[in-house]
Structure 1
């Protein structure tokens, strides 16, 4: 695994030890950012279920000003810390050990809003519709924010208040869905 493009391009990222995380492959990561960017001029990103932190680190490498990297596993947090250190810019990252729901409540209390949200939950916990509802209800997004959800190909989306599904792309067993916040 590596940082694909931008300021930190080519730097290697460590995987989380064990089998509890499934990192986004470089091929899928590159495809995601080619679709949504590929580069940014500032903004704030949230990498929820961060695992290695690879998606959030990629976003900052491509111009996002600040990224919040959230995971509940101790091993993932240690890996994220090591991976952020290869950027030599730790001030651009907030690493948070917390379950996703608690982190969202805290962001709401602190009035933190996001321009880009990267969701790659464990495939058995695919609650993207519920999460999008929380983002809307807790006012966590700037108008026009993009949400990238990586799931397996079995997920179907109903219409979701405040969001439009602007694209879906399949990569083997992985499906990437991109939503735009319209409220």
Structure 2
């Protein structure tokens, strides 16, 4: 696993040991960013269920200004902190070892909007996608922002979260990635 493109291109990323996380492969990451980017002009990225941080770090490498990473698992959190340091993004990131539902409540209280959010919860925990509704209802996702959900291809997400409509779903083996944006974006 590595950073695929941008200023940190080629930097290898450490993944958490054990079965609690499934890092997004470089092939899937490259394909996803070719669809949603491939590069950005600043903004805030949130990597909820960050694991080792591969998606959020890729977004920072490709031009996002600031990243917030949320990960509950201790081993994954240690790998995440290592990877942030390896990419030299300590000044551009906030990293929290926390449950996603608590983290979303904290995000709602902040005075900023999210330009890009990645959600990749454990596949068996489909109820975690409900946090998207909370963020959308609180106007915490920029009108031109994107919500990226990684999920099992057997699971179909809602067609929309408020004004954010599923614009595209791509399947890679057993996983699917659904991209939500407001109509007209």
Give TM-score, length-normalised by structure 2: 0.94
Within 2, Cα distance between the matches of 1:158 and 1:13?
32
Alignment match, 2:105? 105
For structure 1, the 5+ residue unaligned runs are none
Q: Which moved more, 1:107-116 or 1:77-86?
A: 107-116
How many matched pairs? 182
**8 Å contact from structure 1 (residues 3, 11) kept in 2:** yes
Note the C-alpha offset of 1:129.
Answer: 4.6
1:6 aligns with 2:2: no
Stretches (4+) displaced over 6 A: none
Alignment match, 2:172? 171
Within 2, Cα distance between the matches of 1:94 and 1:175?
27
After superposition, residues 49-128 of structure 1 pair within 5 angstroms as: 49-127=49-127
**8 Å contact from structure 2 (residues 3, 12) kept in 1:** yes
Within 2, Cα distance between the matches of 1:141 and 1:148?
12
Give TM-score, length-normalised by structure 1: 0.95
Note the C-alpha offset of 1:32.
Answer: 0.8
For structure 2, the 5+ residue unaligned runs are none
Change (3 A) 1:98 1:129: closer
Spell out, residue by residue over 1:91-112, the C-alpha distance to the aligned partner (whole angstroms, 9 max, x if none): 1111011111111111111223
Note the C-alpha offset of 1:2.
Answer: 0.3
Change (3 A) 1:41 1:12: same
**8 Å contact from structure 1 (residues 28, 171) kept in 2:** yes
Note the C-alpha offset of 1:51.
Answer: 0.3
Alignment match, 2:38? 38
Note the C-alpha offset of 1:128.
Answer: 5.9
